[in-house]
Chain A
Amino acid sequence: MSEVAEYKTIIQIPSLAKRLNIASNLLDADPRSELLKRTLEIVLEEHGGTLSWDIRDCDGKQIPCLIGMRPGDFSQGIGLNVDGSGKVFFVYDSHGDSQGLGRQICEEISQNYNTIALRMALSEMDYQVEIEEERTGPYQKKVLLTGRI
């Protein structure tokens, strides 16, 4: 028997729920926090830019966040915060972003986070994992993971 399953996902890190503004100290004992930081670094490798702990709105006002990034092509920044259950959500000012680049970068973060989590999950299940990427547009890709015993 075979099964095909489709999932829509959210990133949820309950240990971050109590941390609303932690300046430069996101890394802690929870490996999921490190995974999140690593994901942002991977996205920044493509876009250029730096990690940050605040973003700016269209008026230049500073808005703090748990962790964020200032991509070279979206300099006002993308922030990540968590709600009371640890659900991670994105914060950015979309004013003037007619191309939808902010949304696209958020999707890239989700895709990269899920890819790393899947690779780690399959390895833990004793599968040998191969990863292939297919470019589908500027900064856009489809990722294929194959796990074999």
Chain B
Amino acid sequence: MAPSIRIIVDQRGNIIADFHGFRGEDCLSAERQLRDKLLKYGVQISERKAILKEDNESTEQRMKERRSLWRKT
């Protein structure tokens, strides 16, 4: 899945950004980059809340790794 960023700006100007389909921790650097660019354009973030989500692919990968580790032991 190609990475995408979906952003909602509510009627008060609050921003909710969903960084979706990134490999590994690339979503974190994309978010950092977005914050830096926003600052350049005069948008200072006064409050930030962020939640990390494991997507299905990485969860499956982790299950496989656990199974193979189980077999080895």
Contact = CB atoms under 8 A, between A and B. Distances in A.
Chain B at the A interface: SS class: mixed
B19 A5 contact: yes
A113 B10 CA distance: 12
B11 to A, nearest CB: 5
A18 interface: no
A120 B41 contact: yes
Size class of the contact patch on chain B: 35 or more
A18 to B, nearest CB: 16
B11 A107 contact: yes
Interface in A1-41: 1-13, 31-32, 35-36
B26 to A, nearest CB: 8
Contacts of B15: 6-7, 9, 114, 118
Interface of B: 2-28, 30-31, 33-35, 37-38, 40-55, 58
